Amino acid sequence: MPTPSPRVDIKDIIKFKRKRKLELLKFRELIDSIEGELNSVDDDLERKRIMIKFQEKIQKEILEIKKLMGDSKLDFILSGFSSLLDFKQKEVVGTISGIGAFSAGAIANLPLMGLGAGALLLTETLVSSYKKLNRQVESNIASYIYYAQKAGMFN
């Protein structure tokens, strides 16, 4: 198991553990189940196999989180762009058919109204995507280790 680097201040470790309490508890459950599995086996070779399987599982889960986080950057860009396009199409159709104001002054203000509404829609889409991603990462059994690595807690 990874242990905190000696150069990491104990206050930072405590702060991290408090911040990531849910992930820590989930990870402890996993450790407890592996420990129970190891205690139920008498054969050293079988214990080694269990430990290797556990290490590979953690590695796989961390890679999945990293992939999720890397893919999320592209998702944010694509969802943001598609939200703007979607809003722009609604704006054009709504402007022509729904407003009914064809004076020069009303039409001149439409791009600014559209820009503000588009920004709100984009913000809502990005926040929604970010929350969904966080739920996926936090539900991963290795999220505590991932966040600890990211925070520089390990060597």
Q: Is 99 contained in some domain?
A: yes
37 assigned to some structural domain: yes
Domain that holds residue 66: 10-150
- Would you give per-residue pLDDT tens digits along the chain (155 residues)? 668 888 999 999 999 999 999 999 999 999 999 999 999 999 999 999 999 999 999 999 999 998 888 765 555 555 555 544 554 445 444 444 444 444 444 444 445 445 555 555 556 666 666 677 778 888 888 899 988 988 988 86
Each residue's pLDDT tens digit, 44-88: 999 999 999 999 999 999 999 988 887 655 555 555 555 445 544
Q: What is the pTM of this model?
A: 0.61
- The reply to whether 3 falls in a domain is no
In a domain, 124, yes or no: yes
Does 5 reside within a domain? no
Q: Structural domain tally of the chain?
A: 1
- Does any domain span residue 1? no
Residue 155 domain flag: no
Helices (H), the chain: 10-19, 21-39, 44-94, 104-138, 143-150
CA distance 112 to 77: 22
